[in-house]
Amino acid sequence: MTDEHEITPWNVSDTFQEAQYERVATEFGAKIIDEPLKYEIKELAGDLHRFIQYGIFFAHRDLDLLLDGYRKGRKFYLYTGRGPSGKMHLGHLIPFIFTKWLQERFNVDLVIQITDDEKFIFRDSSREDLDRFTRENIVDILSLGFKPEKTHVLIDTKNSGLLYNYGIQVAKHITASTVKSVFGLKDSDNIGKFFFTSIQSVPAFIVSAITGHNVPCLIPYAIDQDPHFKISRDILPKLGYDKPASIISKFIPSLKGTGKMSSSDENSGIYLDDENRTIKKKLMKYAFSGGRDTMEEQRKFGANPDVDFAFNTYRMLEPDVATASKIYNEYKSGQILSGEMKMIAYEKIVDFFEALNSRRDSVSKNMEDYMFSPDRFL
């Protein structure tokens, strides 16, 4: 049995471990991405993204049905999001890297919800800070190279009219006791927390609502967001919309080891605005290593790359799976030492950041082109 509320969008218990992902996903009612489904994705997308090969995106809800429809000519749209509670680190971008791949391979629209309202309700952030992080986070995300024509950034407080009108339809079907049991909320929690999940549901049917016909929706998210979409899937059919499908990821391990990368500890992750020397220092000093204590032992016994922050970060950013697997073997067998592994990761990260930075100016200047507007769907 899952401990009660082991994983909710606002809390992940410290005892949560890698080995528990599959159990938790299955208990939530999601399915594991199995070989036939991988084959299907590969057929339709042209290849299988490395994050699926590595088991980072590992579970789903109705992805098989959605792809069946796609095969028959039924286009879907993608929906994902970000709560702008602070600066972004590398781990935050991982789902967006994957989403961009999906968007390109399936040539579909993408709605990105920025839940500044959520972070106002759940955190101590001021509206000023949230506005700043909202803008900065959007630039960070879009600098991955999203195409403006098919990308729709929906900032909650800026689209409040639309979200409220659709949100109340969802809210009408959710009881306080459901919210309490699904999210672990208490009577003493503010009432904004109770309402918020309705707002996170809206983008899962917003394209259908605007266009007047059902457009299937696929939502990539980390497993802690699953409770929201479990609720959406119960309610949307009552409003005449399809249940959204989902593709679900594990958490990206923090610099210091497993568990969710926390946004409150500066040394828990590599921030997108970290200078090169800070990145190097964080890797050298804080990054959890799967290597041995001494060079002799490392040469003799090799490392455990699976738990190694530097290796995992490198692997996520290396598009060539064969190259990454060569590094894996060399690190595991002791040919590569921990410090060397950290330098390999360092170079990958610096290259990745340079590519992001090269797009920032043009993204900032053209931000308006990416913003959500109903008439872009009509």
Residues engaged in binding ligand TRP (CB under 6 A): 9, 79-83, 113, 115, 118, 200, 219, 221, 225
Estimate the crossing angle of helix 226-235 against helix 21-28, to 10 degrees: 20
Report the nearest approach of ligand TRP to the CB of residue 111 (Å). 9
Two tokens, residue 163: 């979200």
Shortest distance, position 219 Cβ to ligand TRP, whole Å: 5
CB 291 to ligand TRP: min, Å: 32
Closer Cβ to ligand TRP, 25 or 219, answer by number? 219
205/328 with CB nearer ligand TRP? 205
- Cβ within 8 Å of residue 53, ≥6 positions away: 321
Q: Are the CB atoms for 331 and 305 separated by under 8 Å? A: yes
Give the other-Cβ count within 10 Å of 69's Cβ. 16
Complex with ligand TRP: residue 9 or 216, whichever CB lies closer:
9
SS3 151: strand
* Run of H or E residues at 362: helix 338-365
User: What SS3 state is found at 229?
Assistant: helix
271 phi and psi, to 5 degrees? -80, 150
Rounded Cα distance, 65 and 308, in Å: 36
Pick 253 or 291: Cβ nearer ligand TRP: 253
CA–CA dist 176, 147 (Å, integer): 40
Q: In the bound complex, what is the minimum distance in angstroms from residue 10's beta carbon to ligand TRP?
A: 8
For residues 140 and 318, which CB has a smaller minimum distance to ligand TRP in the complex? 140
Q: Is the Cβ of residue 95 or residue 290 nearer to ligand TRP in the bound state?
A: 95
In angstroms, give the least distance from the CB of 113 to ligand TRP: 4
| β-strand pairing of 57-61 with 77-82 | unpaired
Give me 178's structure tokens. Answer: 């459901």
- In the complex, the smallest distance separating the C-beta of residue 183 from ligand TRP, rounded to whole angstroms, is 11
